[in-house]
Structure 1
Amino acid sequence: MIGKVNDNFFTKAILPETGALNQEVIVGPRMGVDAAILKIGDRFMAVAEDPIFPGPTTSPEDFGWITVHIGASDVAVTGIKPRFMTYSLLIPPETSEEYISRLVRSISASARELGIAIVGGHTGFYGAVTVPTIGGITVWGMGREYITPAGARVGDAVLITKGAAIEAAALLGSELGGSLREAGVAEELIERAAGRIREITVVEDAILAAACGGVHAMHDATEGGLARGLWEVAQASGVGLRIRRPAVILPEDIKAVCSHFQLNPFEVISEGTLVLTVHPERAEVVLNAYQRAGLAAAVIGEVVPREEGCRWVEANGSVEELLPPPVDRFWEVFFGALAQA
Structure 2
Amino acid sequence: MKVGKLDSYELQKIIDNNRGIKREDVRIRGGIGEDCSVIEFGDFECVVSTDPITGAEKGLGKLAVHINCNDIASAGVEPLGILVTIMAPESSTLIDIKNVMEEISEECKKLNLEILGGHTEVTSAVNRMIVSCTVLGKGRKNSSVSTADAKPGDDIIITKKLGMEGTFIAVSHKEDELINILTEEEIKEARGYIESISVVDEGRICGRAGVNSMHDITEGGVLGALWEVSKASNCGFKICYDFMPISEVTRKVCKKFNIDPLRFISSGSMLVTCKDGNKLVDLLKKNNIESVIIGNITEDKNIIIKDGKEEEVDPPDSDELFKIMK
AA aligned opposite 1:296: E
Residue of structure 1 in register with 2:324 after alignment:
334
CA contact under 8 A between 2:144 and 2:207: conserved in structure 1? no
Q: Size of the alignment, in residue pairs? A: 323
Give the alignment partner of residue 223 of structure 2, picking from 221, 224, 227.
227
Residue of structure 1 in register with 2:124 after alignment:
127
SS in 1 for 2:325: helix
Please say if 1:312 is aligned against 2:310: no
Give the alignment partner of residue 144 of structure 2, picking from 138, 143, 146.
146
Residue of structure 2 in register with 1:8 after alignment:
9
SS in 2 for 1:160: strand
CA contact under 8 A between 1:15 and 1:29: conserved in structure 2? no
Residue of structure 1 in register with 2:48 after alignment:
47
The 5 A counterparts of 1:1-341 are 1-53=2-54, 55-56=56-57, 58=58, 62-134=59-131, 136-144=132-140, 145-182=143-180, 184-211=181-208, 213-280=209-276, 283-306=277-300, 309-314=301-306, 316=308, 318-331=309-322, 333-336=323-326
AA aligned opposite 1:165: G
SS in 2 for 1:335: coil
| Cα-to-partner distance string for 1:302-340 (whole Å, 9 max, x where unaligned) | 22223xx22112463x32223334332321x1123xxxx
SS in 1 for 2:87: strand
Give the whole-Å Cα distance in 1 for the aligned partners of 2:274 and 2:219.
Answer: 23
Q: Which moved more, 1:111-120 or 1:191-200?
A: 191-200
TM-score of the aligned structures, taking structure 1 as reference length: 0.88
SS in 2 for 1:210: helix
SS in 2 for 1:266: helix
CA contact under 8 A between 1:86 and 1:118: conserved in structure 2? yes
AA aligned opposite 1:271: S
Change (3 A) 1:228 1:53: closer
Deviation at 1:93, TM superposition (A): 4.1
Give the whole-Å Cα distance in 2 for the aligned partners of 1:5 and 1:325.
Answer: 9
SS in 2 for 1:18: coil
Residue of structure 2 in register with 1:339 after alignment:
none
Give the whole-Å Cα distance in 2 for the aligned partners of 1:33 and 1:27.
Answer: 8
AA aligned opposite 2:272: L
CA contact under 8 A between 1:77 and 1:206: conserved in structure 2? yes
Give the whole-Å Cα distance in 2 for the aligned partners of 1:127 and 1:315.
Answer: 49
Give the whole-Å Cα distance in 1 for the aligned partners of 2:215 and 2:179.
Answer: 34
CA contact under 8 A between 2:76 and 2:144: conserved in structure 1? yes
Give the whole-Å Cα distance in 1 for the aligned partners of 2:123 and 2:264.
Answer: 32
AA aligned opposite 1:300: I
CA contact under 8 A between 1:54 and 1:132: conserved in structure 2? no
Deviation at 1:209, TM superposition (A): 1.8
Percent identity reads 28
| Cα-to-partner distance string for 1:28-60 (whole Å, 9 max, x where unaligned) | 23111111111222322110011124734x1xx
| Cα-to-partner distance string for 1:205-248 (whole Å, 9 max, x where unaligned) | 2122222x131100012221111111211221122222122111
| Structure 1: stretches of 5+ with no match in the other structure | 337-341
AA aligned opposite 2:149: G
AA aligned opposite 2:304: W
Change (3 A) 1:285 1:115: farther
CA contact under 8 A between 1:76 and 1:206: conserved in structure 2? yes
CA contact under 8 A between 1:77 and 1:147: conserved in structure 2? yes
AA aligned opposite 2:232: A
TM-score of the aligned structures, taking structure 2 as reference length: 0.92
